[in-house]
Each structure stands twice: as structure tokens, then as C-alpha cells.
Chains A and B, each alone.
Chain A
Amino acid sequence: MSGQAIAIARKDMLVEARSRQTLVLVVLATLLITSLVALGTTSGGLSFKDDETDGGGGRAGLVSMALWVTIAIASVIAMSRSFTSEAAGETLDGLMLCPMDRSAIFLGKMLSNMVFLFLIVGEAVALYFMFGMMDPGGMDPLLLGAVMVAGIPGMAAITTTMSAMGAHSRSRETLVLVLFVPLALYTIILPGISATAGALLGEGIGDVITALEVMALSSAVYVGVCYALFDNILPD
């Protein structure tokens, strides 16, 4: 990754840390979702099988689903901070004036979005631990990390590209990228829920390998296609 892409990512994170434009919103949304899940299950408002009878599968499935809902919501909110804020602040032209391949802008923005999503996952996991919704002894943290590493780059690539399209678009062909949203649902989020549940239950990698492979392959395709098409998305 070029030094310019890393400089863009560092700048984005510094700007976000100072403005807290979306961070506060996403942190609060994550807190709300995790609280609702935790309170909903403990108050008896929802009926789940006891952990003893289903081996914790119901709880793991719920937490896993809520985690990916959080990632999806964070991704949508993150769209506003990538390019929309650059366009609103009229700094996008400043970036486009810089002597680099414009795909470096994509890489830098994607990197900062990935860091943003990993931070949100970290917050959500910490909250689920705090609410007693995750069993530190029963789960496989390495596998959980692998699931996130397989899925989040794809989500970040789509978020970055959609954000650029939202700011400006000069090519109708790139609207095909809109198709990525439902595709991401089937190729990253749903396998992600399944693999995350497996990690939370402490299943071996063999039980979730198919889901992991689908996620990793999809992420690679999304990153590659978004990178290749990015030059056509920026404004003329």
C-alpha cells in the first residue's frame, strides 16, 4: 500500500477523532443494539431455549446476528464520513490534485473505514462480554478474529465505493456496484453470522471453513472490483 494511501487513512482518522462526526453516532448505536439484545434476552421478553438444552446456540446465534447488524449499520453510517464529508468540505478536489493514481484514494479511504469497523466490532464484543452475553471460556477468539478479517475488508470496500458514488458519479456503469449491497448480504453478512456463531460456541475451524472461504473470496472480489472501477467513479 502506498505512503499516500496511508497518509489519507491517517488524516481521515485524525479528522474523525477531532470532529467525532460519525464515531459518537456509531458508538451510541452499538451501545443501543447490544443493550437491547442483552436486556431482551435476560428480561424474558423473548423466549429462547436454555443454554443447557441448546448448548448456547440460541444465545450465540443472537449475539452473532446482532454483531453483524451492528457492522452493517456502522458501514452505512461510515459512508457519510468517507467521501460525502470530503465533498461537503470541498476538499475532494485537493485530494484529486495530488500526484498519485486515484486508486490510492480508494485504498486510503478503505483502510480508514476498515479501522473504523474493527473499532466498532471491538466495542460491541467488549459490551457483550460486559453484559455476560459471551462466554470467554467457551469461545474461540482467534476464529472470531479470522471471521472479521475475512469479512470486514469486503464491507469496507463496498462502503468506500458507495460513499464515493454518493458524493459524485460520472459513470452509469458504476451503478452496477449498487448490486453489491444485496450481494454482500449473501456473501459476507449471512456467512459471517454463521461463522461468528461457530466461533462464539468454540467450534473448530473445520465447522466454519466454508463460510470463511465464501467471505474471504467475496471480500477479495469486492476489493479488487471496487479498486479497478474506482477511477470511473470520481467526479469529472
Chain B
Amino acid sequence: MGTNRDTEMEKSGPALAIDVQGLVKRFGPRKVLRGVELKIEEGALLHIFGANGCGKTTFLRILATLALPTSGHVRVLGHDAREEDIEVRRAVGFLSHQPYLYNELSVMENLIFYGRMYGLTDQDARERGEALLVELGAGEWADLHVGKLSRGMKQRAGIARALLHSPAVLLMDEPFTGLDREGSEALRKVLDDNVREGATIIMTSHDIRAELAGVTAVALLEDGRMVGPYRVGTSEATHLVDSHGRALARDGGDCHI
């Protein structure tokens, strides 16, 4: 099956997976993002952390073309997020706090529907969906209606939806939230596999201490600006993680803009 990842990787285009310049986002008088700059190479696993309400979700939504920037430029795999939004959406898999699944349909019916939306045949969507669900420890839920699943089960099904079209760029907003230990381990393995296959992953959380395994770079979103990214293992990255950990312990993880 030809995937978006194959297509994007075959391109001899820019090595940057994400290129963000001067990104500003306002909601009325409130300026959530204040000139964010970010360059991420293909194949990176970047962990963006920052206090609750500091714009991490907004940032990911802009990368996924679900929100428009007030000003600034965003390019995903060389595609302008405003001008070439369809190409960006084809390349991106986005996992939000919501699984984006229909309660009245079974998990597999949802995956087949989304497969159709991404141009997969029903058979390809079914095969890929089954493989992902098994990988996520959710193979037995394929025929269950989503409305009957627990939050954690929905989260795993939502991960399968986000990965269904083999996106070249994965955007995951606090992906471990709501998952039990088994689910977290399954997700970590899926992320590792995707990085090995060349996918670029950006995930967010408010607590950097929670998930560092496999991460290649870290960045902090603070006061609407991006600090970093720093390659894991460098002194800057270590300092960023340590100082954020102390701030988190002091402030409890809430943003005070």
C-alpha cells in the first residue's frame, strides 16, 4: 500500500519537516502565541512542554490546519499551511484530547470511514486498522461501538485513527493522558516504530518528566514563545528539563500569563 510517508520521504525536497516563523495567534485581545519560531528536521521526535493554557494545543492545531495563524508562516514538509492546506492535512496525523470518533459506529467502521476520507480503499483501511488496533492492544474492540468504550479505550482507537494513513508528521497533544500502563507502553512502541520508519513526531505535555523515552529534542512553550528546541543530551536540554521540573513543582503546572 502506498502511504503518505512513502510519498513524502521519496521527495528530495527540504529536510525540514516543520518550519515555523514568527507565528502569532490571537484570540480577541489575548495573544496566545507571540512570535513562535521552530525548525524540526524530518525523523525527529520533539517533546514540547509547557504549563497548562500556554498555547501548546493551539500551536498543534495551527500545524494541523485546524486553526489559522493571526500572522507568521508555517510550513509542513515544505507545504505552506495556509496556501497548501490539503497537502499539509494529507501529511499530518493529529491526535487531540478527543478521539474524533462517532459513538454510533464501531471502531472499525470509524476507521474505514476515515480511510475513505484519506483515499484508502476499504480493504486497505480495514487491514491497516486491524494491524494498528492489535499493536495498540485494542484488537478485540474493533467491532464494539465507540459509545460503549471507556475513555482510555477511545484514546487508543483515536490513536489508530490518527495513524491510519501512515502520516509523515504526527502531532500528538498529551497522547498519554487517559491511558493505563499497558496503553502507554503500546503507544510508546508505536511511536518508536514510527520514528524508525522516518516519521516526524511532535508531542506535547505539561510535564516534561512524564515522557522522555525516545525523545530526540525538547522545547518549552512559555509566555507564547518557544524556548528551544534542544537536542536531548545537550546541556541546554538538560537545563531546560531541570528548570521546568522545578517550576512545575512550584507552580503546579498552570500558566500565568
The chain A residues found within 8 Å of chain B, CB to CB, are 3-4, 7-8, 11, 14-15, 18-19, 89-91, 93-101, 236
Tell me the interface secondary structure of chain A in the complex: helix
Q: Which 8 A-B pairs have the closest CB atoms?
A: A94-B100, A99-B90, A98-B117, A7-B116, A18-B104, A99-B89, A90-B98, A15-B104
Report if A91-B101 is in contact (Cβ < 8 Å); known contacts: A11-B113, A97-B89, A100-B86: yes
Question: Which residues of chain B (85-127) have a CB below 8 Å from chain A?
Answer: 86-87, 89-90, 92, 94, 96, 98, 100-105, 109, 113-114, 116-119
User: How many inter-chain contacts with C-beta < 8 Å in the A-B complex?
Assistant: 63
Q: Contact partner of A3 among B67, B104, B116, CB < 8 A?
A: B116
Q: What are 14 inter-chain pairs, A to B, with CB distance below 8 A? A: A4-B116, A8-B117, A11-B102, A18-B105, A91-B100, A93-B66, A93-B96, A94-B100, A97-B100, A98-B114, A99-B90, A99-B118, A100-B86, A236-B67
B68 touches A (CB below 8 Å): yes
Task: Number of B interface residues at 8 Å Cβ cutoff, please give it.
Answer: 27
B64 interface residue (CB < 8 Å to A): yes
B109, closest chain A residue (CB): A14
A94-B114, A100-B86 are known; give 11 further A-B pairs, CB within 8 A: A4-B116, A8-B117, A14-B105, A15-B102, A91-B98, A95-B117, A96-B65, A97-B64, A97-B65, A100-B89, A100-B117
Q: Chain A contacts of B105 at CB under 8 A?
A: 11, 14-15, 18
Task: Judge whether B98 and A98 touch: CB under 8 Å.
Answer: no
Shortest distance between the CB of A103 and any CB in chain B (Å): 12
Complex contacts, A7 vs chain B, CB 8 Å: 113, 116-117
